[in-house]
Every structure is written in structure tokens, then in C-alpha cells.
Amino acid sequence: MLDVMKIRQDFPMLNGTKMHGQPLIYFDNGATTLKPQCVIDAVCDYLTNYSGNAHRGDYDLSHDVDTQFEKTRKLVAQLINCDHHEVVYTYGSTDSLNLVAFGYGMTHLNKDDEILLTVAEHASNTLPWFEVCDTIGSVVKYIDLNEEGAVTLENVAKAITDKTKIISIAQVSNVLGFNAPIKEICKLAHEKGIIVCVDGAQSIPHQKVDVKDLDVDFLVFSGHKMCGSTGVGILYGKYNLLQETKPTRWGGGSNSRYKSCGLVKLKTAPAKFEAGTPNIEGVIGLGAAIEYLMAIGMDNIHQYELKLRQYAVEKLLELDNIEVYNPNSHGAIAFNIKGVFSQDGASLFNTHGIAIRAGQHCAKILDEFLGISQTLRASFYFYNTFEEIDKFIEVCKKGDDFLDAFFG
Ligand code: PMP
């Protein structure tokens, strides 16, 4: 079990940071997470003591950078159970999904081929595919969600046709929070020669994910949603698929030799995707974050967060003035204070030091399914507590008399 009080000591922002004059209660972990001191120290250590470039120098300092930079790749491989050559550094989930869509999709799809998504996808897992389709005439189709908003194997099977070539879906939606049955989807897809790309932005930080066991073809995630800094992300790809994927950025570090146009010899994966100077401090910080998360244990994190969620949902459901849209899922809680515009609700929480997201959460085609255009979203991480949830529930109660609570 987690020692949450001890864990909270590791996060400077949980020890003194105030918002609107109140101690911060941070429930916007779906957007980004707070950083533990070990990550801050790792980034500062690089910037202070050995901030050379990576894979470019032949001196000791450069060797130190390379060692730390590549250490993170091995830690990622350990975290998701793959070979470290299958780990590509990117600038975040969005960048990784663009790489899959443009580097793999654009070169493997033909006119009329179908890509399956869901209406719950984040914009970063829809817009790149829309653009691919606009360019080459392939088609985006949607897997129906069940009545609760979950992806089911049955609905995936229904959506597959002879033309389906790629399925690209979130393992956990950033709004509805359901875990998709990825292992079963991969099995079904592979029987039909379909490639599966998994958006792990909201799953990798919160639960143990084993890419070999799931047999996913591509998986993406972001460092900043798992205690790392912004501007660094990961693309995992099966090695043969990475070799078939075309880089989307070209430049220094990715080629072994070139003479002229048409005579470029690229390095093998992952180097061929990593042109230009990377976010070195971000990569080193991500390594520290992964070590930190693995020491706590991904299963411990997941179990604790499920308990937090269950507790919060039970309390919310007791309130007449609150509507919860996804009581039975596993991730973020989507809700509204009845009769209160979600952004006004977020302002109310803000006045109590509680960070809650409001709006569409970048899932802009989900509104038709939900039947509302905006929600509030509470998303927890393992450093949140039951006491914080109690305070949050007290503020939810005030939403009943919104104007008095806000302006009173
Ligand atoms: N997919 C999902 C499910 C997300 O929640 C997010 C971030 N909100 C992204 C993709 C994009 O991540 P990033 O902004 O780090 O590229």
C-alpha cells in the first residue's frame, strides 16, 4: 500500500503552494502532473553540471550525457516491457501520434482504406488522421461506444470491414476514463492484418502496461503526465514497423551518410526519427520519473487511484445537484454542477484552491454522445488524498447556491 503522506513530501507543490490563498488541491492530473523533487533534481543536475549535447561529442562530458540520455530509453523499455531499440523519443503524445499517422499511415494507406477511431479520442488522435485522409483519400470511421461510453470488443468487431487497415484508440479516454480491452482488440485486429496504435497518454502514468502481452503495434505517451517535464514523449513501435515508418522530421543525427538529394542513408530506428537536438533535460527527467514511479509500483498506484475514484464518485452521487457522466469507469470523473456552466464551476473550485478542468478536454466530437457540450473533469494521481476529496465535495455542495457561493 502507498504511504501517501510520505509521497506528498516528495512534491514541492504539495508543500506550501497556494491557489487563491488556499492550499492547492490539484485535481487536473489528466492535463499534466506535478513533479517530485527527484525529477527536478535530475533536470537541474543536467543543466547545472553536464549540459552538453547528446550523441554528438567525443569527450567525457558528452559521454556522461549519452549515458543518462540512453538510460531513460532502457527505463522506458523496462516500464512497458519492450526492447530499447523500439523506444523513440518524441516531444509528447501529440508528436508521437503525428509520427504514426504521417510516417506510417501516409505511406501504408491507400484511397478508401479505413482507419477506426472512437468519438472519445483526443484531438491529437483525430486531427492527424483527418489530415492523412484529406491528403490520400482514406476514410475515418468510428467504433460505437456502448451506452456508458466504453469501447467494447463487440463494437470494434462490428466496425471492422475489409477496408480497415488501422485502429487508433486511447487505452483510457481522457474524459470518460474507461479502459479499452486492448489485448482482445489487438488479437482480433491482427487476425485481419490490421495495425493497432494505442494512445497511452492516460494509461501509462496510472497502470502497468505490457506492450508484449497486449501485442500492440504502436503505443504513445507523454512524460509530463507521469511526473516528468513537458516537451518529451515516447513512441513505442514493434521494431519491424518502426523500420517501415518514414521519419517526419529530417536533419542532423538521423542519417549515417548523404551525398545529395536521393542519396540519403538513414540510420536504423530509433535514431532515424530523432533528428535535431532533443529535449535532453526532459528525457533525463523522464528517466528519474520512471524510476520514481516504478519504486512506488504501478500496480500500487493503480489500486490506490481506483479507491480514490470510487470514494469520490460515491460522495458525488449522494449530491442532488451533481451529475456524473461516467460513474463506472476507471480514470477521470466527468461531471457537472446542475444548472452551472462548467467554466463557472471551475472558477468556483478555484476560489477554494481546487484545480479542476472545464470544457471539452480536447475531445471535441464527444459532445453529441454526452448530450452536453462541456463538463468539469476531476482527475486524480497517487499523491491525492481522501481528505482532499472531502474538501472538494464540500465545494460541490456549495454549487447548489452557485451565485451566493461564488460572489458571497
Ligand atoms: N491523448 C490523450 C488521451 C490525452 O489526454 C492527451 C493530453 N491531454 C494527449 C493525447 C496529448 O498529449 P500531449 O499534449 O502531451 O501531446
Task: Please write the tens of the pLDDT for every residue from 9-59.
Answer: 999 999 999 999 999 999 999 999 999 999 999 999 999 999 999 988 889
Length, in residues, of the chain: 408
Q: What CATH code is assigned to 40-295?
A: 3.40.640.10
- Ligand 1 centroid to 93 CA: how many Å? 6
Q: What CA–CA distance (Å, rounded) separates 217 from 342?
A: 37
Beta bridge partners of 333: 378
Contact between 54 and 73 under an 8 Å Cβ cutoff? The reply is no
* 402: pLDDT strictly greater than 80: no
Quick one: pLDDT band at residue 260, thresholds 50, 70, 90? confident
d(CA 101, CA 109): 10
- Per-residue DSSP letter, 179: B
Residue nearest to atom 6 of ligand 1 (CA): 201
Decide if pLDDT at 314 tops 70.
yes
Determine the distance separating the centroid of ligand 1 and the alpha carbon of 190, expressed in angstroms.
Answer: 26
Q: Are 340 and 397 a contacting pair, CB within 8 Å?
A: no
Atom of ligand 1 at shortest distance to CA of 225?
A: 15
Closest ligand 1 atom to residue 230 Cα is 15
d(CA 325, CA 204): 23
Domain boundaries, the chain: 4-31+298-407, 40-295
Residue 354 is placed in which grid cell?
481546487
Q: Indicate which residue's Cα is closest to atom 5 of ligand 1.
A: 174
Phi, psi values for residue 110, rounded to 5°: -120, 170
CATH of 4-31+298-407, one of 3.40.50.300, 3.20.20.70, 1.20.1740.10, 3.90.1150.10: 3.90.1150.10
The residue to mutate among 124, 175, 207, 219, having the most atoms of ligand 1 within 8 angstroms of its beta carbon, is 124
Q: Which of 38, 82, 261, 362 is catalytic?
A: 362
Omega before 247 within 30 of 0, i.e. cis:
no
Give the Cα separation of 103 and 246 in Å (integer): 4
Taking the CA of residue 121 as reference, the ligand 1 atom at the shortest distance is 3
Distance between Cα 61 and ligand 1 center (Å): 34
Nearest CA, atom 8, ligand 1: 31
Distance 398 CA to ligand 1 centre (A): 31
- C-alpha distance from residue 49 to each of 45, 57, 148, 299 (Å): 6, 16, 52, 35
Handedness of CA 200, 206, 207, 210 (dihedral sign): positive
407 Cα: distance to centroid of ligand 1 (angstroms): 34
- pLDDT confidence band for 256 (50 / 70 / 90): confident
Cell of 407: 460572489
Which tens digit of pLDDT belongs to each residue from 138-148?
999 999 999 99
Ligand 1 atom closest to the Cα of residue 224 is 15
pLDDT over 90 percentage in the chain: 88
Which cell is 374 given?
A: 462541456
Q: Give dist(CA 408, CA 398) in Å, integer.
A: 11
- Using CA atoms, how far apart are residues 43 and 146, in angstroms rounded to an integer? 43
Cα Rg of the chain, angstroms? 22
Nearest ligand 1 atom, CA 233: 15
pLDDT over 70 (residue 406): no
Residue nearest to atom 4 of ligand 1 (CA): 201
Active site residue 82: no
Ligand 1 pocket, CB under 6 A? 30, 92-94, 122, 124-125, 170, 174, 199, 201-202, 222, 362
pLDDT exceeds 70 at position 130: yes
pTM above 0.90, yes or no: yes
